[in-house]
Structure 1
Amino acid sequence: MSTTPAPFSFQKKILLAIAFTLAAVGGMALISLALTWAPDKSVDELKQQWASPPSQFVDVKGLMVHVRDEGWHEDPVPVLLIHGTSSSLHTWEAWAKELKKQHRVITMDLPGFGLTGPNQTNDYSIATYTQFIQDLMDTLHVERAVIGGNSLGGEIAWETAVAAPNRVERLILIDAAGYPFTPLSVPLGFKLAKMPAMSWLMTHCLPHSMVEESVKNVYGNPEKVTAALVDRYEAMTLRAGNRQALGIRMKQLNSGGDDNLIKRIQMPTLILWGGKDKLIPPENATLFHQDIVGSKLIMFDELGHVPQEENPVVTLAAVNIFLQ
Structure 2
Amino acid sequence: MPPAGDPTAHDGETVRSVSLSGLTLNVRSRPPLRAGLPPAVYVHGLGGSSLNWSALMLELAGDLDSEALDLPGFGLSPPPDDGNYSVSGHTRAVIRYLDSCGRAPVHLFGNSLGGAVATRAAALRPDLVRTLTLVSPALPELPPQRTALPTALLAVPGIAGLFGRLTKDWTAERRTREVLALCYGDPGRVSPGGFAAAVTELERRLRLPYFWDSLARSARGLVDAYTLGGQHSLWRQAERVLAPALLVYGGRDQLVGFRMARRAGAAFRDSRMLALPEAGHVAMMEYPEIVACAFRELLVDTARLTAHAELGNASSPRPVPPEGE
1:59 to 19, 27, 42: 19
* Contact 1:269 1:295 survives alignment (8 Å): yes
Question: Mean alpha-carbon deviation: is it higher for 291-300 or for 61-70?
Answer: 61-70
CA apart distance, 1:146: 0.9
Counterpart for residue 160 of structure 1: 121
SS of residue matched to 2:226: coil
Equivalent residues of 2:119, 2:237 under 8 A apart: no
Name 2:226's counterpart in structure 1.
Answer: 255
Q: How does 1:216-255 map to 2 (within 5 A)?
A: 216-225=181-190, 226=192, 227-231=195-199, 232-252=201-221, 253=223, 254-255=225-226
Whole-angstrom distance in 1 between the partners of 2:75 and 2:57: 17
Aligned positions, number: 275
1:12-67 alpha-carbon deviations (Å, 9 max, x no partner): xxxxxxxxxxxxxxxxxxxxxxxxxxxxxxxxxxxxxx998511111122423211
Q: Which of the numbers 259, 284, 305 marks the counterpart of 2:260? A: 284
CA RMSD of aligned residues (A): 2.6
Flag the 1:155–1:75 CA change in 2: closer, same or farther, 3 A: farther
SS at match of 2:53: helix
Q: Whole-Å Cα distance in 2 between the matches of residues 294 and 190 of structure 1? A: 30
Per-residue CA distance 1:71-99 (angstroms, 9 max, x = gap): 34964741111110001111111111132
Q: What CA deviation, in whole Å up to 9, does each residue of 1:286-306 have, x standing for no partner?
A: 111011123101100000000
Counterpart Cα distance in 2 of 1:301 and 1:107 = 26
Q: Give the structure 1 partner of residue 305 of structure 2.
A: none
Give the alignment's TM-score, normalised by structure 1.
0.77
How far residue 255 of structure 1 moved from its aligned partner, in angstroms, is: 1.9
Q: Distance in 1 between matches of 2:208 and 2:38?
A: 32
Taking structure 2 as the reference length, the TM-score comes to 0.76
Listed as ranges, the matches of 1:72-87 within 5 Å are 72=32, 75=36, 77-87=38-48
User: Can you give the 5+ residue segments of structure 2 that lack an aligned partner in the other structure?
Assistant: 1-9, 301-325
Is the 8 Å Cα contact of residues 12 and 30 (structure 2) preserved in structure 1?
no
Question: Structure 1 residues 148 and 189, CA, compared in 2 at 3 Å: closer, same or farther?
Answer: same
Aligned sequence identity (%):
24
Supply the distance in 2 between the matched residues of 1:213 and 1:115 (Cα, whole angstroms): 23
Alignment-mate amino acid for residue 161 of structure 1: A
Contact 2:265 2:272 (8 Å CA) reproduced: yes
1:139 CA drift (Å): 2.8
Counterpart of 1:205 in structure 2 is: 168
Which of 285, 288, 293 is matched with 1:312 structurally?
288
1:113 Cα deviation from its structure 2 partner:
1.0
- Answer with 1 or 2: which has the greater Rg: 1
* Corresponding residue of 1:139: 100
